Amino acid sequence: MRLTLKVWRQKGPSAAGEFVTYDHPDVSEHMSFLEMLDVLNQKLIERGDEPVAFDHDCREGICGICSLMINGVAHGPERATTVCQLHMRHFKDGDTITIEPWRARAFPVIKDLIVDRSAFDRIVQAGGFISVNTGSAPEANATPVPKSNADRSMDAATCIACGACVAACPNASAMLFTAAKVAHLNLLPQGEPEKHRRTARMVRQMEKEGFGHCTNMGECEAACPKEISMDFISKLNHDYLGATLRGIKE
């Protein structure tokens, strides 16, 4: 395939960015999207140009680092698929593909297609812990957990913190991410003691980071590569109301 790529290039956080167009011939349909970018970068290096900076790590749809807007869609056109698992067979010969970074005030651009998502880390750090006694491991069946809660907790824990929910949301809200990170602990007995304090701290930190408010547009769920449900946002609101009624402010 021969593709035309319009790639966002930006030298640094304070530099002005722009789209640069590249002609990219001989793209195999068997390449992943990131392999296609690897080949582009190799050609840029060979002719003495600076390669395009983009994030990647596991390339197995696990780490969530491969965060790109492709033709205006977070992670590209395939539902429940990360960029690293997106293959070029989903595009056609002659296509023009626009590639840009996540767009959110809380995710400032570092360089080209790389953004700083450490705001997510600070939200988790604000309240993501449980009280556990040290010593030998407890008996596995000593703390019964309803299967429905265990299943929902596992569904929430599949969040890979890629930020697609923020990038897709018209308000750049982080409610789906925060809801998933809160729920996977709050639904289990081990997370019950700090449930309300954890919820309050993580929501307050989310607000401090400058994310927008949730208005139930649903773009977050549609863009999530792990198909995490918006139902978790309802649970977050419920738990936050509980924390507010108890007068918990941190």
DSSP state of 70: E
Nearest to 204 by CA among 117, 127, 131, 103: 127
Domains of the chain (ranges plus CATH)?
3-110 (3.10.20.30), 117-245 (1.10.1060.10)
φ/ψ of residue 22, rounded to 5:
-125, 135
Q: How confident is the model at residue 249 (pLDDT cuts 50, 70, 90)?
A: confident
User: Tens digits of per-residue pLDDT, 89-108?
Assistant: 999 999 999 999 999 999 99
Measured between alpha carbons, how far is residue 241 from residues 211, 244, 249 in Å? 20, 5, 11
Mean per-residue pLDDT of the chain: 94
Residue range 165-172: mean pLDDT, rounded: 97
Portion of the chain with pLDDT greater than 70, in percent: 99
Q: How confident is the model at residue 140 (pLDDT cuts 50, 70, 90)?
A: low
pLDDT of amino acid 222: 97
Q: Give the DSSP H/E element, type plus range, for residue 151.
A: helix 147-157
DSSP state of 43: H
Q: How confident is the model at residue 196 (pLDDT cuts 50, 70, 90)?
A: very high
pLDDT of amino acid 130: 76
Nearest to 103 by CA among 24, 10, 1: 10
Cα 98 to Cα 120: distance, rounded to the nearest angstrom: 26
DSSP state of 173: B
Cα 215 to Cα 61: distance, rounded to the nearest angstrom: 28
Tokens of 134: 């040290």
> What is the pTM for the complete model shown?
0.93
- For residue 113, pLDDT over 70 is answered with yes
Q: Quickly tell me which residue has 């003495």 as its tokens.
A: 48
- For residue 198, pLDDT over 90 is answered with yes
User: Tens digits of per-residue pLDDT, 68-89?
Assistant: 999 999 999 999 999 999 999 9
Query: Out of 13-27, 131-145, 197-211, 212-226, which region has the weakest mean confidence (pLDDT)?
Result: 131-145
Contacts of 63 (CB under 8 A, 6+ apart): 57, 160
Q: How confident is the model at residue 144 (pLDDT cuts 50, 70, 90)?
A: confident
Instruction: With beta carbons less than 8 A apart as the criterion, state whether 90 and 77 touch.
Output: yes
DSSP state of 138: P
Pick the more confident residue, 189 or 81.
81
DSSP state of 87: B
User: Tens digits of per-residue pLDDT, 47-58?
Assistant: 999 999 999 999
pLDDT of amino acid 248: 86
Rounded to the nearest 10°, the torsion over CA 228, 230, 231, 233 is 110
- For residue 128, pLDDT over 90 is answered with no
Strand 18-24 relative to strand 3-9: parallel, antiparallel, unpaired? antiparallel
